[in-house]
Amino acid sequence: MLAEAGRVLEEAATRQRHALDLTVVAIAGATGSGKSTLFNALARTQLSEAGVRRPTTAVPIACAWTDRADQAEGILDRLGIPPRARRQPVRPYDQGLHGLVLLDLPDHDSATTGHREQVDRMLSLVDAVIWVVDPEKYADAVLHERYLRPLSGYAEVTFVVLNQVDRLSGDAADQVLDDLRRLLDEDGLALGEHGEPGAMVMALSALTGEGVGELREALAQFTAGRNVPERRLIADVDGVAARLRPSYVATGRPGLTEVARHEFDDRLAEAVGAQAAGLAAERAWLRDAEYACGTSWSRARRSLGRGRGARGEGSTSRSTPDTPAPPTAGRTVSRPLVEQAVRALAHEAATGLPDPWAQAVRDAAGRGAEGLADALDEAAADAAAASVGTGMRPTARTGHRRKDRKGWMVRKRRAVRKGGAAEPGARVVRPRWWAVATAVQSALTALQLAGMAWLLGLATDTFGGEWWAPGVLVTGGGVGGPVVAWCCRMLSRGPARRRALETERRLRTAAAGCGRERVLEPVAAELLRYREVRAQYAIAAGGS
């Protein structure tokens, strides 16, 4: 299509190198419509053989109303009309037609394909065309579908004459003319009625000369305007612009809406399992809190259980609930979800774009999608590593505890940590009150144990005294432990939830960053390119 545009511009340039004050008008039509007769009538002499037996010659006959023979020669050379087919009007020639170069074309419905090709070539080169139709064949489908409809953009440089009206009664001629106008209208050809710009439609008889004077008059005005070649070239360029339009102008308003971007982010977050990671982090936090603030007995039980779990390799069912979700390092991103996210985005972005551009957008998204899942894996791992350090109390960052792989607080030397891969501040800070709770639990246990020892002493008469005091110690310690543990669990809920949200947000942000860099930005760049080219197109199409 671009090649065609180039050809049109080249032809336009060629035409402009030739005399623009000469107007080349071709007489076209079906066999026997009266083209040659009309040609002769306009030239007022027998220049072209009329009524010859078919097939007629493929060579168009030319007649130039000009004194500048050299100019006419140049144009006729360009049209490829051999010197033997070049004629002169009788002298002194009709000054009204000065500047006209008239061509009698072969029949467009000729059985010889060579003739048709010749006609088509001429039609693409001349400045204006007089279509000659007769009362029998004016509705011919080939004429309308193959010629008039595609040439509807050339209305301003088109004449349609209904010839042989001498064979019709006045009423019949009017009827046929009306019907012809209706058909031309259906072809999309603007008609130059009531002074509007458009094709001129008239009835005449080339044989009797009736109406030929009007055509001569119209042609005289037409050529005197001196702008016919330009008008034709403008129509050419407009036509090319219109044909290129589908490649440059979108039907809808393509682009990436905020909604589409958000949906893409949501899908990627789902693919990296941001929400699940958040929930896992929440559970881990609650478990840690429970361990830290639980009664000494439950701590001991858990430690024992953990010890057994560590020894027994297969005891995953026992250890899993105790193992906080790993900070998602190594979590595998869902490939199908990633692909789906990219597909949906590409679809959204490409909808309404001209085909080649839609393809370019899809390609850009596809290229971005290639390493996206791996990149998301990496980004999620990084985010997870960083989220390890999301302490509940940022002020406590100077603390030197961090969570180990299993989520337990471990002491590490800062020097070691500094060399670690995790980002600065990547350490979980255990809330200080957990330590207080642990101490309280230990104290309660100690009281309980003391009470028991006391009771033992009383029982064995090692020392005397009342029974109620040690009884209170044992009961108080026994009841206080679970009560403190329960309170701590309630107090941990808020921080655990915050931690869940923080973890989710981090993963989400990391995934979105990845998606933006790899997919959204390339797609947006493609859309931007499209907009720029469309703007260029608008200038080109509007400038003509």
Q: Could you say which of 22, 29, 391, 409 contacts ligand GDP (CB under 6 A)?
A: 29
Q: Considering only residues 196-225, where is the footprint of ligand GDP by CB under 6 A?
A: 205-207
Question: Residues 183, 138: contact at Cβ < 8 Å?
Answer: yes
- Alpha helical stretches, state H, 128-169: 141-142
Q: Could you say which of 36, 118, 387, 441 contacts ligand GDP (CB under 6 A)?
A: 36
Amino acid letter for position 422:
A
- Rounded Cα distance between 209 and 205, Å, is 5
Residue number closest to ligand GDP, CB atom: 34
Q: Which does 98 bind (CB under 5 to 8 A by kind): Mg ion, ligand GDP, none?
A: none
What's the DSSP call for residue 395?
Answer: G
Contact status: 36 vs Mg ion (CB under 5 A): yes
Amino acid letter for position 80:
G
Q: Under rule CB under 5 A, how many of the chain's residues touch Mg ion?
A: 2
Minimum CB distance to ligand GDP smaller for 50 or for 155:
50
Closest CA to 216 of 39, 91, 51, 60: 39
Minimum CB distance to Mg ion smaller for 51 or for 419:
51
Residue with the two structure tokens 């050529």: 223
Q: Could you say which of 149, 167, 243, 306 contacts ligand GDP (CB under 6 A)?
A: 167
Contact status: 438 vs Mg ion (CB under 5 A): no
Contact status: 118 vs ligand GDP (CB under 6 A): no
Minimum CB distance to Mg ion smaller for 86 or for 499:
86
We find the least distance from the C-beta atom of residue 105 to ligand GDP, in angstroms, to be 9
Contact status: 118 vs Mg ion (CB under 5 A): no
Q: Considering only residues 48-67, where is the footprint of ligand GDP by CB under 6 A?
A: 50-51
**CA dist list (Å): 235 to 5, 108, 180, 241, 351:** 12, 22, 23, 10, 31
Per CB under 5 A, the segment of 29-37, 379-387, 427-435, 460-468 that binds Mg ion is: 29-37
Q: What is the DSSP string of 239-266?
A: HHHHHHHHHH--SS--S--HHHHHHHHH
Question: Residues 518, 372: contact at Cβ < 8 Å?
Answer: yes
Contact status: 32 vs ligand GDP (CB under 6 A): yes
- Rounded Cα distance between 149 and 144, Å, is 6
Q: What is the CA radius of gyration of the chain?
A: 46
Q: Per-residue x/- mask for Mg ion, residues 46 to 85, rule CB under 5 A?
A: ----------------------------------------
We find the least distance from the C-beta atom of residue 107 to Mg ion, in angstroms, to be 7
CA dihedral 446, 447, 450, 451 (to 10 degrees): -150
Contact status: 37 vs ligand GDP (CB under 6 A): yes
**CA dist list (Å): 85 to 105, 255, 498:** 11, 58, 94
Contact status: 447 vs ligand GDP (CB under 6 A): no
Contacting positions for ligand GDP (CB under 6 A): 29, 31-37, 50-51, 107, 163-164, 166-167, 205-207
